[in-house]
Amino acid sequence: MTLIYTESQLIQQIIDLLQLTDIYQENHPEMVASAFSHTWRGDLEPHIEVEPECYRIQLYERGILSVDRPTLEAADVIYFVLEDIIYATVHIGLLRKYKVNNRDQHLQYTADVLAEISEGVDHAFHQIGGIYEQWHRAGRRHEL
């Protein structure tokens, strides 16, 4: 029988991993917790359901469930949430760096900017290391 972690255990594990990076921010615990929210389901933001026998990795688009992947592995859940938060944090960092907000002033996604995003995400996963860095380099998110 597979051990199923509680929401709070998963949240803490994800926060502990984010704290290994130099991109860690005070709002990360809130960002992690939102992935487990029972009321909020943002567009294409990870949503995790913890069931007695498995986890469900879900994505909603315009309020409609578009992805629903069951898994027995807590590491899948942890990786999926990490990938989303790391990417968002790096992206927001570049918005600030270039003084744009993507509402009325847009970031130009040039090859250099895309390389900065990729390097920032790669660096954060390198700081975390282990299976999560391996999965990131292998592009595992697309498999989930």
Residue 75 counted as domain residue: yes
Predicted TM-score (pTM) above 0.85: yes
9 C-beta neighbours (distance < 10 Å), count: 13
- What's the mean per-residue pLDDT of the chain? 93
The total domain count for the chain is 1
The answer to whether residue 2 is domain-embedded is: no
In a domain, 24, yes or no: yes
Per-residue tokens: 62: 């315009």
Q: Which domain holds residue 18?
A: 7-142
Cβ-contact 127, 22 below 8 angstroms = yes
Asked whether residue 1 is domain-assigned, the answer is: no
Q: DSSP 3-state assignment of 50?
A: strand
**pLDDT tens-digit map of 48-88:** 999 999 999 999 998 889 999 999 999 999 999 999 999 99
